[in-house]
Structure 1
Amino acid sequence: MPDMIDPVSLASQLIACPSVTPASGAVFDVLEAALRPLGFDIDRWVMGEAPDGPTENMIAIRGHGAPHFGFAGHLDVVPPGEGWSVGPYEAQVVDGRLIGRGANDMKSAIAAYVAAVARIAPGAGTLSLLITGDEEGYATYGTPRIIDRLNARGIRPDMILIGEPTSVDRLGDTVKIGRRGSVNMWIDVPGVQGHVAYPHRATNPVPPLARVVAALSEVHLDDGTDAFPPSNLEFTAVSTPTDASNVIPGEATAQLNIRFNNLHKGSDLVRMVEEIAAREAPGAKVRARISGEAFLTPPGRLFDIIVESIREETGAEPELSTSGGTSDGRFLIQLCPVVDFGLPNATMHKLDESAAVEDIRALSRIYERVVRKVLATEKSPD
């Protein structure tokens, strides 16, 4: 076996590679350099053009046969912003915490997993890493294209663990067994631009758009389910092309997002918004982008293994949750059961994003327990 890998050191190397969405290049080089000595075969490719590309993806596979356990994650990060106490790509450890963009979401989890499999000798069964450079964006050339590649090669994992930061107050307190769907929409209401002193020569789009906003704000989508919280519709922007105080704008736009549970489909929600917009503002147009549908992984061996591993390492009894944002599980659920589990998520996307050094190492030990339990399974888990 190669020398053991320190997950904090590997995480630091990954953080040191700026990889704002869509990511490619150096950060994948670092990961490949860590995986090849462990016996993984690496498939990397770059595809797509701006604005959603170019994006790099990686499929790394070791071993053969059942069970096949997949680990999924992303090396892209959101922009760092201004005001960090240390450089966002310096990967400094301060007061026991590794600080850097991606330390929490989710380069440390990828490093923790690689360090875990480095402690496990190759044997029966298959291990894979499915790593994308576009999870924080629209994923146009990200995980859906990884799935295409797997399907073309006839590869299908039995179960997939995603290393998203799911814990809340302490490592191991929350595991995500499903995610809500997400759809972004833009409602464009046309008008006729003119001087505010001559309104009869113009058509103001703002009042009808306001009626649309008011009507949609009154919509009650649902009360939630046993597994999901209620769906929610939130307006995120209202804009016109002019800031002049004496000009009636020629158009007005409202932007909204709906996070929805499995009582809905994205296309049905788009249709609902279109109908309300047509009623309140005739001539309005609705543009929509469905990021993913809601999904729920049914109970099974994957839950049991992860819960057992967390309990053994931390003593925590994790909550099985569907709260929070979405993940690439919305795509990977097409292949097999999917569960998200990772670090405490309080600092993700924030200035001075960080992860406790001891949490990173404990997470690696939990991942090691998970992999060993999966590989000890005699046949493909349910």
Structure 2
Amino acid sequence: MTDAREAADVDDVARALALIDEATIVADTSSLILAASENPGGTELVAVRVLESIASRLGGRSRRSLVAPDRPNLSIRFGPDPSPEAPGVLILGHSDVVPAGEGWAADPFNPRVADGWLTGRGATDMKGGLAAALQAMAAVHRVRPELPLELLVTVDEEDLATGIQAHLRADEGPRDAYRACIVAEPTDLAVVIACRGAANLQVEVRGRAAHAGRPEDGASAITTAARIATWIADDHERMRAGATGLLGSATWSVGRIEGGHGTSIVPDRCTLLVDRRLMPGETGAEALAQLEAGIGGVLGDDGCDAHASLLMEMPGFETAPTHPLVAAAVEALRAEGAAAPVEAWTAACEGGFIAEHHGCPTIILGPGDITGQAHQPDERVRIADLSAAARAYTRMLIHLHT
């Protein structure tokens, strides 16, 4: 980069940062919290409408793509459309939130500001990140209108990921239209460069009912399910024992077991819901085959059988720590006084879909703490972090285009 170009970039960053307004980010995040979009149990439409209103005010172009009734994905673009000749930066987010649940000190969808924090369902995961991203994109567009910028907001991220999968199926554009993807999920302002994928699996065990007074006349689906759960736990420990690198290893976890009819009946059915975290490059089909092999090894001759199926999968991703995207993120955060650690994520996100489909480097970076604040009563985000995230995005969007 020439000295003149460097000086111009510094000037552009300064002018764009001057347009970042913390109060507006808080107001926009609050409007999105008010637009309750619980999943499962609701729709994202009201939140999408708020996002469209914010985008219109900021000069963005919105386009909906219906995934299911009242559940539209939303693309918001600033500047020209991204293309292989002029690749853009994609910021990825989702409009749904997990159900509010019990234990809140006040109405979870009535945003509250106190002591430097904004509280409400979605404040951290991830309506604060969406508001910060939109503010940054609009500021950069004012200064550099020739830059192609896009915010993709999907539905159903918190459940079955039908939104991102529908988006990729319908995508007819060039695969190499993006130079980078930033997932605005809450990372507590760390730079997450590696993320395991996730597969949701189901095991249906079928046995034979009988009177509990003569259990030998039946075949207990619960007993067989317990052997399968034991195999899953043992295989989890096997994988963890071989953990290496930033991501460690894949994992297994049985999240739910349901079966039987009553105390006096030998159970003829039992269902297990299983979480399998995937390493980058590993597929849900591979995890399913591994589970099927394990089931085959524990089934006996007691009259039970079992069938496993794949309900949902998200691919993982890993970006090299030396990639310019990572350097830009670290530099941008440190310029805002953040420590900017480079980490792996224990959660899963939709960034792996984008990395796989578009072949672009991907990171996760956003305000809020995924483990300490998201998916909990009185979910909250530090207001200073909303502003710091918007300012870091602003720096990155300009630096990544030089």
Query: What is the TM-score of this pair, normalised by structure 2?
Result: 0.84
What are the equivalent positions in structure 2 for 1:249-264 lying under 5 Å apart?
A: 249-262=267-280, 264=282
Which residue of 2 is the match for residue 47 of structure 1? 67
**Structure 1 letter corresponding to 2:217:** R
Measured at CA, do residues 153 and 35 of structure 1 come closer, stay the same or move farther in structure 2, by a change above 3 Å?
farther
CA distance in 2, matches of 1:337, 1:27: 28
Uncovered stretches (5+) of structure 2, i.e. residues with no partner:
1-15
Which residue of 2 is the match for residue 229 of structure 1? 248
Identity of matched residues, %: 26
CA shift for structure 1 position 131? 0.8
Which residue of 2 is the match for residue 344 of structure 1? 368
1:192 and 2:208 aligned:
yes
Pairing partner for 2:38 from 20, 24, 27: 20
Which residue of 2 is the match for residue 205 of structure 1? 221
What are the equivalent positions in structure 2 for 1:256-295 lying under 5 Å apart?
A: 256-262=274-280, 264-281=282-299, 283-295=305-317
Which residue of 2 is the match for residue 108 of structure 1? 128
What are the equivalent positions in structure 2 for 1:40-189 lying under 5 Å apart?
A: 40-48=60-68, 54-64=70-80, 66-120=86-140, 121=142, 122-140=144-162, 142-152=163-173, 156-167=177-188, 172=189, 174-189=190-205
Measured at CA, do residues 294 and 225 of structure 1 come closer, stay the same or move farther in structure 2, by a change above 3 Å?
farther
Pairing partner for 2:350 from 324, 328, 331: 328
Render the CA deviation track for 1:190-241: whole Å, top value 9, x for unaligned. 1111111122432222333222222332221252232311222122222213
Render the CA deviation track for 1:280-337: whole Å, top value 9, x for unaligned. 2252211222422222123422111111101111141x23222311101021112121
Pairing partner for 1:310 from 333, 343, 346: 333
Uncovered stretches (5+) of structure 1, i.e. residues with no partner:
378-382
For residue 276 of structure 1, give the secondary structure of its aligned residue in structure 2.
helix
CA shift for structure 1 position 67? 4.2
Measured at CA, do residues 253 and 358 of structure 1 come closer, stay the same or move farther in structure 2, by a change above 3 Å?
same
Which structure dedicates a bigger proportion of its chain to helix?
2
Render the CA deviation track for 1:160-201: whole Å, top value 9, x for unaligned. 11100012xxxx3x2111211212222222111111112243
CA distance in 1, matches of 2:175, 2:285: 30
Measured at CA, do residues 86 and 255 of structure 1 come closer, stay the same or move farther in structure 2, by a change above 3 Å?
same
CA distance in 1, matches of 2:282, 2:89: 30
Which residue of 2 is the match for residue 380 of structure 1? none
Measured at CA, do residues 227 and 201 of structure 1 come closer, stay the same or move farther in structure 2, by a change above 3 Å?
same
**Structure 2 letter corresponding to 1:286:** A
Measured at CA, do residues 138 and 156 of structure 1 come closer, stay the same or move farther in structure 2, by a change above 3 Å?
same
CA distance in 1, matches of 2:35, 2:375: 17
**Structure 1 letter corresponding to 2:43:** A
Measured at CA, do residues 319 and 38 of structure 1 come closer, stay the same or move farther in structure 2, by a change above 3 Å?
same
Q: What is the aligned-residue RMSD (CA, Å)?
A: 2.2
For residue 167 of structure 2, give the secondary structure of its aligned residue in structure 1.
helix
Render the CA deviation track for 1:126-159: whole Å, top value 9, x for unaligned. 011111122111111x122233444347782211
CA distance in 1, matches of 2:87, 2:307: 49
CA shift for structure 1 position 4? 6.6
CA distance in 2, matches of 1:29, 1:265: 35
Pairing partner for 2:319 from 290, 297, 316: 297
**Structure 2 letter corresponding to 1:240:** G
CA shift for structure 1 position 352? 0.4
Query: What is the TM-score of this pair, normalised by structure 1?
Result: 0.88
Measured at CA, do residues 40 and 96 of structure 1 come closer, stay the same or move farther in structure 2, by a change above 3 Å?
same
CA distance in 1, matches of 2:255, 2:54: 41
For residue 178 of structure 2, give the secondary structure of its aligned residue in structure 1.
coil
Measured at CA, do residues 188 and 25 of structure 1 come closer, stay the same or move farther in structure 2, by a change above 3 Å?
closer
For residue 262 of structure 1, give the secondary structure of its aligned residue in structure 2.
coil
Please tell me whether the aligned partners of residues 38 and 44 of structure 2 are also in contact (alpha carbons under 8 angstroms). Answer: no
1:239 and 2:255 aligned:
no
* Count of residues paired in the alignment: 363
Which residue of 1 is the match for residue 388 of structure 2? 362
**Structure 1 letter corresponding to 2:336:** E
Measured at CA, do residues 129 and 149 of structure 1 come closer, stay the same or move farther in structure 2, by a change above 3 Å?
farther
Measured at CA, do residues 4 and 268 of structure 1 come closer, stay the same or move farther in structure 2, by a change above 3 Å?
closer
Please tell me whether the aligned partners of residues 183 and 290 of structure 1 are also in contact (alpha carbons under 8 angstroms). Answer: yes
CA shift for structure 1 position 61? 1.4
CA distance in 2, matches of 1:155, 1:36: 27
Measured at CA, do residues 359 and 327 of structure 1 come closer, stay the same or move farther in structure 2, by a change above 3 Å?
same
